[in-house]
Each structure stands twice: as structure tokens, then as C-alpha cells.
Structure 1
Amino acid sequence: MNKYKWLSFIIISILLVGRVTIAEEEDDEPVPSSLYGPNDHITILHSNNFNKKIYNQRKVFFVEFFASWCGSCIGYAETYKQLAKQLLKWKHIVEIAAVDCADSQNLQLCREHNVEAFPTLKYFKYMSANANDGIEYRGNAHNLNGVPLDIAGFVYNDWVYQKPVEWPSFQTSDNYVRLEDILPTIPSVTSLLAVIVENNPAKVAWAEMIAFANDRRIHIVQIQHNNPIAQQFGIIGTSESSRLLILKKDQSTPLYISKEHDTWLQMQDKINEYIAQFPVIDASESNKDGVLHEKSDVNVPVTWSQFEVQMMDIITALRHMLLAEIPRKSVIKGENLRALKLWVHAMKKYVPGTIPIRKLLYRLNQWINNISTELTSEQWTHRIKTIQDQLGQPLPSASNYMACRGSKAHFRGFPCGIWTLIHAMSVQAYQIEKDKI
């Protein structure tokens, strides 16, 4: 460390000592040990509880490392309290916390987390294991509209890579999905549907999904601006805008359509206003329709329209094949690798689907052609997830078979879906290659 850096440390130390002394002389009171109290909805962390509360937890944490003597921290405290109050409905997924680095017992803790300035804000992901999992927040910490949306973006990334079973699905509805496709999928105990029209990254939609994840009175989905539902209700807007539609489950006409520039908090307030008209649903009641319900012998109604070729079945089967079946082998080489290359090439040419799906297969084909000797399951899975991220998650996060849904939950599904995929590919191949026969 050169002499100028040492000089900087000396000057800063003198200024800090001077500030504390002045505060004690003018106020005739000791500097407070903390800026937050029990009614501020902020979890107070210290060296004795930090690891237990933050690590290996099935939620995420947004933590302020502050010093109670720090003028910037004192000035920021009210903003942080407002943030915690705004995110009260998020507490089952996001917890707001703080550490006072001026407390001598926390010096080593703050050193471990490389806190060099106050206040420092860090995001700790789902199931964080150590200090390295803390991501420093570098956005505008005073923007009470922007910070929650940035946190929602962090939460979404956690969902993409870890898929916590306790969390809602943040999957964007496919561009061809219509309102009549969504309404039948809503649990019977749920009364309202919220459709958020927002292009990816859909931070407003993710924020509302987090806020109402445990409220069974409303079901929230996200669509993009080019979805037929948006066009149906005249939502044109800019690609950066977000709009909210609220509908009763049994009606196709919206009860409410938000203004173009409403914030996520205004949308949350409006959702709260509408769900207040319905009684709170007990968790045990809502589980009657849960996908994890042990009794799987419930009959699924069958209609002849189920036997039409459904694009959702093709995409769901494609997802299962790419992320579950192919990487079952830890190492793919030799004849298996050559066969996989041929299969990926065939899918690139003949699988019908949306532009993002076709781009995914095109990029996968380009990548695998450069693999010469062997391919591990980890490499394969990582590549799929990378392309998924680049294209906005075109593959669904969970199974959602339609025509391939059996009369019982354990019937049909993937075998039917893969048959449908191959059938669709053969039809597509004939259409493309018929003039060459």
C-alpha cells in the first residue's frame, strides 16, 4: 500500500472521530448502537445469529451493512424502513435485514463480507452457503420503485437456476396462449386472475408474483405485448411498459385495466383492493387443488378437443427430454454422441414452434457440433440453461400437458408428448422435403 493510501486512511479516521465527538457534544447523548427498532420490519443481524439466519435458508435476504455513526446511514435509514414496509407481503420469499458494523462484536463479520463503505447493500440468494453468495447491490438505493424491482430480478434468477418448490412459477406464458387456455388452469378455490402484460425482463410481474405467492384468492400470469390477450383488450403500449388486467375466473371481461405508467406498488394496491372482496383462503383448503396432493386418482375431464395436436404438449415434452432424459448419462461419447448430434440437427430442422424455441434448437445444434470427443451431463445442462436465459426461458418450467394429460395424473404425459413431437416433426419434414422425394 503506497503512502497516499495510508494518508487517505489517516484523514478518514480523523474525520470520523471528529464527527462522533461533535455529535456527543451537541446532543449530549451517546451515538445510538443501531438505527432500527422492533417495529421497523427489519431483521437485526449480528455475529451470533448471522450464519444461522442467512445461510441454508429457503428464502432470500436483502441486507444493509451500516454503521450507526455514519451520516449517510442515518440519512438512509428512513428510506430503508420504507422499503421494508413496502415489501412486507414479500416476507415469505424476501426478508429485509441489517447489520450494524459499528458494533464491536460485528467487526469480523463485516470484514468477512468485504464491507468497505457504508451503507452497503447485499442480496443473499436462496440457500446461500457462505459470504461469497452475497451480491452487492449497485443500483440506486434511494429509488423505492426501482430497488424492489431489482430484488425481484434477483429472485427470478434464483428461480431459474434453483427452482425452489416453495416459490411460484415465474414462467412467461407462451405467445400463442389465449385467455380460454389460462382460465381452466386456475385452482377451483381461486376467484381472480391477474394478467400482467410486460416484456422480459418482466420485473413488475415478478414483483406481483412474489407479493401474492401465498394468496390463493388470485392467480397471476405474465404475457408479453405481442400475446393475443394483450391485443384482445387493446393493450398496445411501449415494450418497456407494464399493464395489469384483473378478471373474475368465470368471466372473460376485465374488471380492471391499469394505466400505462402505473408502478408495481400501485398495481399491488389495486390487487389488494380487489382480493379484499373475497374471504382469505386457508392453506389446507387451497391444497385441495395442489399439484403435490397425495391423492392422484381424481378423474380429469376428457373432451374430444384434447386429442388435437397441442403445441404445449410438444414444448413440454421437449423440455423434459432436454433437461431430464438426455442428461441421465453422466458422459455421452462415441456412438451415443454421434446419435445425439444427428437428433439435435433433426430437431433444429423439423420441430415446429415459436421463434425462441427454434432459436434454442439452432444454437444448441451449433454448439454440439463443436463437441468432438465427449460431453458431460453438466456441460449439456449448463448449455441448455444458458440458452434458456438468453432467449427469455422459452421452455416451460414445469409439465403442463394438455391433449397428453391422462385421465389420471400418472397416465400419458411424456410418452404421449414425445410421440406427438416425433409425429409433428415427420409432418414438418414431409412439408419441407416433399419436392426432393
Structure 2
Amino acid sequence: MRICLVSKVYMVVVVLLSVINTSLNAVLNLETKKLYDDLKSGRGLYTGDDKVIVLNSTSFKSSVFGSKNAWLVEFYNSWCGFCHRFAPVLRSLAADIYAWRDVLSVAAVDCSTDDNNPLCREYEVMYYPMLKLFPAGARPAALGSEVDKGNTVDSIRGSLAGLLRREQVEGRGAGWPNITPYRSSDTANLWKNVPGNVKYIFLIFEQADSTAGIEAILDLHSVNSTQIRHVTSENEGLAKLMGVSMFPSLVVLDASSTVTPLKVSDGTRTTFRQAIKAFLEAHDIPVPKEQSIVDPGDWRHIKAPDLSEIIRVAEEEKKTKKKSELVFQADLEKAVKYSLEHEVSMRKLISGAALTALQKYLAVLAKYFPVRSEHGKSFFSDLRANLDVPGVEGEAFSAGVKSAEKGGSPFVISGSQDWVGCKGSAEHYRGFPCGMWLLFHTLTVASVSQRGGEPGFDSLEVLDAMLGYVTHFFGCRDCSRHFQEMAASLSSEVTSPNASVAWLWRAHNKVNLRLAGDPSEDPAHPKVQFPSPETCPPCRDPAGAWSEPQMLQHLFRVYAPENIVVPRGKDGRPGNTPGWNFNVFDLSLCVMLYMFSASICILVCIKFVVKKRYRKKSYVHDLFGKV
């Protein structure tokens, strides 16, 4: 009997420990996944391992303004696919010109965060990614000069070298190495004001439009005992004196003015640098070792990085999740909120065509956005009414949006603090672009459902408003350009109510096709043609061709207001996320409760066994009583 009871207690303990272990593993997996996602996203697109300095609203002005060196700053948005493409180029550029760091610092600001948003608006960041050069000694009023991103590290580096030369010609950067062309034909002037430790002066002869000499100067300016100057083909007198008849050429002068020509095969920065370093090493002058830089090539053609671990996790998730196409109210509200407070408000002044576009955008939101409260019905129309002015400042518009939200129900466009259906496997995936596509589809379907049968219905009303928004406010310039190119056919293709829904569906699938395999693609949510065969089997015929009538029925069903998921909280009011929405803390608390309950159960069982043993113990008077 005692053995049986002990066995039962043992089994109870094993089961409880198994439950505890499972719960702990769940918490550890969530912690690990969160840490993994945090590591993947890092500080936006750049981490401490990069040579890119991460700036924010707190550190930007104190770092950039009043500095002895110039600053190249990328303003980007972590959800922008083109920013993901450009990030490897900026990382390589920062490493490639790291020797220039006392002349030029390379930094980045993520405009997608709430804290940085006012900073990006102040410095008139109108699209992403945007490169700006802030000169040495710049004051806070300076907005910076836009720098052409070019296509490759080499093209950007060349542009920067030319801009830095212009800075010095205009009197800035006095403490930098001299990168202005040497214009005298007298070599004696070369040695004036040269430090006494300088043993050799290198002269790089090149065409006037070349920047390779400047790049080589900046690469090697920290080497002791040397000075490097570049001479353009316009200085014919000095070229003749040095015996230079071909450009490019490289000569070196010692303290006795002895001229030694050095062989260069071409006029690239690498060739000049290698020839100078070889000469210095032969004369026992130490030179810094070159870093191995990976050139990502043309950033416009960069494909997705190695995301094998995320893909593995995504495949595991696919095994446990059903495929579905749900539209969550929280995603629609968060998309509108972000568009108004982060993109529209980003413009310093909204006027002209941009103001008209904003008026149309708010007008269609007022008509067709699925609001959840009485106050929500007037929210957009009130914002629209306040725009009957020649122009409005972005900061004032942002304040008006926040004030209007506070004046009514908290469920106007407050939405969730996180994405639901548009949540990506990492912070920088999906999010706002996904939310805007959902919003566009919902508005087109709502417009046709509500008014498509009315005489004189404008089939282009929503699409025109969307085009205006994308043209003037959407932060990703290349995305905006592609959308505008697709929209060039709107007037000829959209000639009926249903055609507006079908046009947007085709446009969305074109974008999915173009971005499949792009660095912005979430591996857990691949860019596929939708609806998928699993979610809408009738949408394709047996040969795989689209059945547009079936596809339209599917779209009207998915984006219908009555099918939008509006989860409700415990108080019966609309909530933000479906299900339990447990976080790591919640689960940790559950585990603690499990452990406490298990301990109580074990103690009770042990007490029960001890009590049984006590009652079954034989005594002498018991034996006599049984006789």
C-alpha cells in the first residue's frame, strides 16, 4: 500500500515537473526569440560593429554642429525596403573611408522612431534614404546639403571627395590635410609651412575632374614624414618641370628636390595609394595596414542577406499556423495614425499640390474608413475642415491630430501599440507598408460597396487620393516613383466601380513580384501573388490563370467592414490584439504560480503518505485486540 502511494506521489511530481519544465522552455524560447529579433534589428539598421555612428534626437546637434570635421548623415526609415538595400553600401563606405574620420564622420538617423521624427522634419527629410552633408563648424540652422547616393561605394566616395575639396576652397576645414589643387609651378613653394619631419612630398598628377588624388591624400594623411598634394592637368608649367607628359602620373620629391617618378598603371585611388605605400615601405617608413572591405556593388541590385536562421524559424511557424487572410482593425488604425503623425507631419510646410492631396486623403478617410466610435466619424472630417487655408505647418498639423484624438474616444485611431496581422518576424519587417496596403484595399472596397451603385459614382476617387498621398507624403521615394509609374494608366484602366478594386489588386501583386527576394521582404511572410491557392481556390482556373470575378468576390469578402477583426477586451470594449496577448513577464508569472502550486501539491501528498504510515503502524494493544 505504501509503495502504491509513494508511486502515485512520484507520478504526480513527475507530471508537475514536466509542466513546469515545458512552461520554462516556453519562456526561454520567447526570451531567446526576443533577443534574436533585437539583435537582428539592433539600433535600426546599424549596430556597434559598423563604422556608422548612430545618432538620435538627443545626440544629433551636439555631435554634428560646431564640429571640426564634416558629417555625412543618412536619414532613413527602418521599414523602407530601399533603406535596407542601401544599408550595406553605407556600412562599406564608412569602413572604406574610416581613415578620413578626422575629416568626415559617417552617421545615420532612424526617422521611424517617435523621438527622431521631429528632428527629421526639422531638417526637411522628404524621402528615404536621404544623404546630407553638414560642413565643418556648421550651426544648428544649417539644413545640410543633399548628397547624391550614386550606385556604389566608389561613386559616393568620389562625390564626397569633390564636396570636401569645395568645402576647403570656400574656407572651411582649415585643420584638414590640404586637398585643394597645387596651382604654383614653383616647387619651392611646396616646402613652405611644411613640418620639419616631412621627408618626402608626393605629387599626384590627374585630370581636373578626377578625385582619385584627393581620396589617396585622405587615405594616407596620417602617415608621418610625408605630404601628398594633387596637381590637375591645368598646371602645365609644373607638369613640364616635373617631366610629366601623361595624366595620371605620380612623382616624389625629397628634401633636396630630387624628383623620382613612380610607376602607376591607371589613375585610381587604389593605384596611387599602393604606389605611395610601396615607396614608403622601401624607405622604412611605417604605413597603416589596409582593411579588407567587402564592396556590395550597385545597391539597387542588392539581394536579401543570409537569413537562414529566420527562414528556419519561419518554416517552423508555418507548420503550426493556418494560412488566412484577416484584416485587423488595429492595423488599419495604426497605419492611419503613422501616416498622419509621421509622414504628413514630416513636411515643414504643406501647401499647393501637397495640401490638395492631404485634403483628398482625409476626405476619403472620412467617407470610408471603418471607425469604431461616434467621435471617430467626425475625426477625419474635422481635420479636413481645418485645412481650408493656403498652407499649414507639419508641426501644427501633428499637434492638431493629437489634440483631436484626446478630445474623443481613445479608440479613434490610437489602435494597438504594436502591429497585429502586419507584425513581422523582426521589428523592421512589414509594419507600416503592410498596413497601408490593407488601408488602400479597405477604402476601395468600402467605396464601391457603399456608393458604387449611385449615379455619377467616381471610380477614381479613392485611387486619386491614394496617388496624391503616395506622391507627396510617402517616405520611400523609390516606392513612390514606382507607384506613380503604375498609376499612369489609371484613367484608361479604371472605367467602372469594380475596376478600381481590380486595379489596386493588380498593382499590389506587381509590387509583390518586384520585391520578392528583396532585403525588405520578411522571410516569414514571403511576397507572393494573392489571393493564394489555399485561401481562395476558385480564384484560379485549372490552368492557374486568374478568374477575376471570383477574385473580386474574394476581395469584397476579405475587406468588407463586417469581416474586419475587432477583438474585444475584458470590459467589452474593442481591444487591440486577438487571443491572450501574453508577454514574457506574464508567462514568467504563470511559471511561478505553477511552481508554487506544485510545491503545495507535493507537500499535501507527502503529508498524506506520512499520515497513512502513522495510522498503519502496529502496536501491542492492536495485536491483542485482534485475538
TM-score (norm 1): 0.51
Aligned match of 1:223: 231
Aligned match of 2:455: none
Distance in structure 2 (CA, Å) of the matches to 1:219 and 1:28: 46
| 1:82 paired to 2:101 | no
What does 1:14-413 correspond to in 2, within 5 Å?
A: 33-130=43-140, 132-140=142-150, 142-178=151-187, 182=190, 186-201=194-209, 203-225=211-233, 226-231=235-240, 235-237=244-246, 242-250=248-256, 252-254=258-260, 256-259=262-265, 261-276=266-281, 277-279=284-286
Do the aligned residues in 1 keep the contact of 2:212 with 2:269 (CA within 8 Å)? yes
Task: Please state whether the residue corresponding to 2:133 is helix, strand or coil.
Answer: strand
Aligned match of 2:607: none
Deviation at 1:67, TM superposition (A): 1.6
Distance in structure 1 (CA, Å) of the matches to 2:186 and 2:98: 32
Deviation at 1:279, TM superposition (A): 4.4
Deviation at 1:202, TM superposition (A): 5.4
Structure 2 unaligned regions, length at least 5: 1-33, 289-627
Deviation at 1:243, TM superposition (A): 3.1
Structure number with greater CO (CA < 8 Å, separation at least 6) is 2
Aligned match of 1:315: none
Do the aligned residues in 2 keep the contact of 1:197 with 1:223 (CA within 8 Å)? yes
Change (3 A) 1:123 1:181: closer
Q: Which amino acid aligns with 2:285?
A: F
Change (3 A) 1:124 1:264: same
Distance in structure 1 (CA, Å) of the matches to 2:95 and 2:40: 28
Task: Please state whether the residue corresponding to 2:175 is helix, strand or coil.
Answer: coil
Deviation at 1:267, TM superposition (A): 2.1
Change (3 A) 1:137 1:256: same
Over residues 354-387 of structure 1, what are the superposed CA-to-partner deviations in whole Å (9 max), with x where a residue is unaligned?
Answer: xxxxxxxxxxxxxxxxxxxxxxxxxxxxxxxxxx
Distance in structure 2 (CA, Å) of the matches to 1:161 and 1:117: 29
Deviation at 1:70, TM superposition (A): 1.6
Distance in structure 1 (CA, Å) of the matches to 2:229 and 2:39: 53
Q: Which amino acid aligns with 1:173?
A: Y
Deviation at 1:68, TM superposition (A): 1.8
Distance in structure 2 (CA, Å) of the matches to 1:247 and 1:191: 8
Task: Please state whether the residue corresponding to 2:153 is helix, strand or coil.
Answer: coil
Distance in structure 2 (CA, Å) of the matches to 1:28 and 1:168: 41
Q: Which amino acid aligns with 1:270?
A: A
Task: Please state whether the residue corresponding to 1:162 is helix, strand or coil.
Answer: coil
Aligned match of 2:439: none
Distance in structure 2 (CA, Å) of the matches to 1:263 and 1:280: 19
Do the aligned residues in 1 keep the contact of 2:131 with 2:149 (CA within 8 Å)? no
Distance in structure 2 (CA, Å) of the matches to 1:219 and 1:31: 43
Name whichever of 156-165 and 104-113 sits farther off: 156-165
Deviation at 1:40, TM superposition (A): 1.3
Deviation at 1:28, TM superposition (A): 12
Distance in structure 2 (CA, Å) of the matches to 1:103 and 1:266: 43
Change (3 A) 1:217 1:137: same
Over residues 115-147 of structure 1, what are the superposed CA-to-partner deviations in whole Å (9 max), with x where a residue is unaligned?
Answer: 12211111111111125340011251x332222
Q: Which amino acid aligns with 2:91?
A: K
Deviation at 1:195, TM superposition (A): 0.4
Is the radius of gyration larger for structure 1 or structure 2? 2
Do the aligned residues in 2 keep the contact of 1:59 with 1:126 (CA within 8 Å)? yes
Do the aligned residues in 2 keep the contact of 1:247 with 1:256 (CA within 8 Å)? no
Change (3 A) 1:274 1:43: farther
Distance in structure 2 (CA, Å) of the matches to 1:68 and 1:269: 38
Q: Which amino acid aligns with 1:156?
A: R
Structure 1 unaligned regions, length at least 5: 1-23, 282-437
Distance in structure 2 (CA, Å) of the matches to 1:36 and 1:269: 31
Deviation at 1:184, TM superposition (A): 7.7
Over residues 389-419 of structure 1, what are the superposed CA-to-partner deviations in whole Å (9 max), with x where a residue is unaligned?
Answer: xxxxxxxxxxxxxxxxxxxxxxxxxxxxxxx
Q: Which amino acid aligns with 1:275?
A: L
Deviation at 1:30, TM superposition (A): 8.0
Q: Which amino acid aligns with 1:278?
A: I
Distance in structure 1 (CA, Å) of the matches to 2:38 and 2:224: 53
Q: Which amino acid aligns with 1:120?
A: M
Distance in structure 2 (CA, Å) of the matches to 1:268 and 1:201: 19
Change (3 A) 1:63 1:231: same
Do the aligned residues in 1 keep the contact of 2:135 with 2:172 (CA within 8 Å)? no
Distance in structure 1 (CA, Å) of the matches to 2:198 and 2:209: 27
Do the aligned residues in 1 keep the contact of 2:54 with 2:108 (CA within 8 Å)? yes
Aligned match of 2:316: none
Q: Which amino acid aligns with 1:174?
A: R
Q: Percent identity?
A: 22
Task: Please state whether the residue corresponding to 1:193 is helix, strand or coil.
Answer: strand
Change (3 A) 1:175 1:248: closer
Deviation at 1:266, TM superposition (A): 3.3
Q: Which amino acid aligns with 2:273?
A: Q
Q: What is the number of equivalent residue pairs in this alignment?
A: 250
Distance in structure 1 (CA, Å) of the matches to 2:180 and 2:43: 44
Do the aligned residues in 2 keep the contact of 1:149 with 1:207 (CA within 8 Å)? yes
